[in-house]
């Protein structure tokens, strides 16, 4: 188990040893509160985009379903007649320069796995740069847009925002509710009170704490041929090697179990870089991985490798709430 995996487990189980990190947490919280206060008081050099910016972010470290939500937002906004683009940090990306516009034919080693996945799935314009204001400026120079989605960036106060959506894992919640390094919070817990909406990934119904978002498997896609198969392609009880290099791999493994398959779990660090040797498992059962992992494995995949496409399904109440906001962006 990697160090990051051990830390995540400790945070969400509130291991007693984490108390030793409380003095560091205190310093971290003071810095985070001071940074936000300076943002609110207009003391930071913050870029205000000429078109609205919608942040899809995390309050916690680890996977909460941001990428499926970004994909849903792209489709929904387009259906409303809006021209939408995306900015991303581009974690692990090594392009010739920043900012860099991602296209579907580029390498994940160059542009990062999540931006490439979004580009391949949606075809939407996407710009990567650790400096998000620079990414926004470059994207608007290249494209005519009505709305910009920021994949993560809740704590990136150099970029002003018009709407903040925070994704929360409904099962894991906020862990021990402590900030880094004693817990998984990127900002103190009271920050959740100031965002525009909380989306609870995996919740069955809306609650007073937020809107429900289900992550539903939709289809199996073959890495070699691109053929798409229904979820009953594998019979109940089928043994598969399950590969997940995401923030919360257990969610993926649990999803495969709900499909009545028998996954042998192979968890890797988030944004892991794979080799063919790493994924040459025995026995030779089919390999099923996440879509984010698939973009890094196509070059050496074998015919029995598949990814499970996942679709976000937010509650109708959230869709109505969002549409009210989007109405203000449409020409009258």
Binding residue ranges: 60-67
8 φ/ψ angles, rounded to the nearest 5 degrees: -60, -45
Pick the closest to residue 317 from 203, 216, 173, 149 (CA basis). 203
Residues 195, 274: Cα–Cα separation, whole Å = 36
Contact 291, 309 (CB under 8 A): yes
Report the length, in residues, of the chain.
Answer: 332
Residues 18, 11: Cα–Cα separation, whole Å = 8
E-state strands within 71-196: 84-88, 100-102, 126-128, 147-151, 163-169
Q: Give the helix/strand (H/E) hosting 74.
A: helix 66-79
Binding-site residues from annotation for ATP: 60-67
116 φ/ψ angles, rounded to the nearest 5 degrees: -65, -40
Contact 291, 299 (CB under 8 A): no
């Amino acid at each position: 188990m990697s160090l990051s995996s051990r830390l995540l487990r400790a945070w969400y189980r509130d291991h007693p040893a984490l108390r030793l990190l409380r003095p560091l947490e205190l310093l971290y919280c003071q810095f985070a509160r001071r940074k936000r206060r300076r943002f609110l008081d207009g003391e930071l050099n913050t870029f205000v985009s000429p078109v609205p910016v919608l942040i899809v972010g995390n309050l916690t470290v680890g996977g909460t379903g941001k990428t499926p939500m970004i994909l849903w937002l792209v489709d929904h906004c387009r259906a409303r007649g809006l021209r939408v683009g995306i900015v991303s940090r581009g974690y692990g990306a090594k392009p010739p320069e920043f900012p860099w516009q991602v296209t579907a034919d580029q390498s994940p080693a160059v542009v990062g796995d999540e931006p490439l996945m979004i580009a391949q799935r949606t075809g939407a314009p996407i710009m990567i740069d650790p400096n998000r204001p620079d990414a926004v400026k470059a994207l608007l120079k290249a494209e005519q847009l009505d709305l910009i989605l920021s994949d993560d960036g809740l704590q990136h106060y150099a970029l002003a925002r018009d709407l903040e959506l925070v994704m929360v894992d409904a099962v894991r919640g906020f862990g021990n509710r402590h900030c880094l390094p004693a817990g998984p919070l990127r900002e103190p817990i009271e920050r959740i009170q100031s965002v525009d909406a909380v989306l609870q990934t995996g919740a069955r119904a809306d609650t007073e704490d937020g809107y429900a978002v289900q992550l539903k498997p939709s289809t199996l896609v073959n890495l070699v041929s691109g053929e798409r198969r229904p979820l009953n392609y594998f019979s109940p009880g089928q043994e598969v090697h399950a590969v997940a290099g995401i923030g919360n791999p257990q969610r993926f493994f649990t999803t495969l179990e709900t499909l009545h398959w028998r996954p042998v779990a192979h968890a890797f660090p988030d944004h892991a870089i794979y080799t063919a040797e790493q994924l040459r498992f025995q026995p030779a059962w089919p390999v099923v991985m996440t879509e984010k992992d698939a973009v890094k494995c196509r070059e050496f995949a074998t015919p029995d490798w598949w990814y499970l496409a996942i679709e976000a399904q937010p509650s109708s109440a959230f869709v109505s709430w969002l549409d009210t906001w989007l109405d203000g962006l449409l020409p009258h």
